[in-house]
Structure 1
Amino acid sequence: MTSDPFVFLIKTIANLYLFIVLLRLVLQFSRADFYNPISQGIVKATSPLLLPLRKVIPPIGRLDTSCLVLALAVQLLTTTLIFMMAGFSATPAHYAIFTVVGTLYHLLDLYFWALLISVILSWVAPGATHPGAMLVGQITAPLYKACHRVIPTLGGLDLSPIFLFLAISLVKQFLAPYAI
């Protein structure tokens, strides 16, 4: 199924947009700087589809449910197109599982890459003021904070990224068979 170049193209384009939608969800959830130029670009890329949804779907606390619905819709569309191109006939339960698990898988993937970038930035450019570095720090801060409640830093050594990488990788291994 993945050797077909059209499937590859659809997955790449859809997953890129899904990444942007999930990034907006994560930025809002972590209360990242809205006036950051990268945040503004993400808002501009997602607003045409999110604004009509916001009129119908209200947020629940800090969770932007319209953004979550959009992410699920993008994943459902991707799943449907790939199943159709592969000639796979699926039940609604299959679509629901692949949509929810695929979205969660890509969300974990986003956090994995954000953590990796955060670790690299801590070695190469600690305290960087670049807009991208600042956003990565704001995205990963809640994860580090939650991990520090369980695993304290050892002097100047912070082991929380290792445990976060392990946890994310373990969950992704369980979700991988159902992620498109």
Structure 2
Amino acid sequence: MSVVSFPGAEPKHSAVVTVITRLTLADATDWQQVIAAECRRQRLLTPSVFAFLKDNRLLDRCTFLASDVGSEELRFLHIGDPTLRVLGRGWGRSMLGQIETVDPHAEFAHSVGAQYAESIGAGEALFNRISVTGMGKPLVYTHALYGWAEGGRRAVLSAVDVQTLH
């Protein structure tokens, strides 16, 4: 069951407020640091990145988005368990293969999407703490982001750790 309400599902009581705080990767969990280190080590997005994640049982903690060649729009290609626990499996089924901007949680998606775009251009892992209110139960989570841009394609891997659901 989703802890986030969908637009129109219940009366709107307040605006969605997303507070993003940049932290250092040293603040990340051990497994988020391992993922960032492996992405940094491999530098290019290849099947070996996903083999590493699968072999170390880390893939289910990650959400992966990528663009088509020549497109700026990121599509959800893999949605990890932490994201599904917060947004719901129905949301996950509806968003798999869809571009991030069609997310019904538009205000939230826009703020997180800006972080995805920044990580793609960073060349290094980014680590943020995100607090969200006004979208159902308040929640706090962290994500370690690693982005790539190569061969006319963009991609981002988000390693999500849900801290609290109130």
TM-score range, shorter chain: under 0.3
Higher strand share: 2
Larger of the two Rg values belongs to structure:
1
Using structure 1 for the length normalisation, give the TM-score. 0.25
- TM-score normalized with structure 2 length: 0.26
Higher RCO (CA < 8 A, seq sep 6+): 2
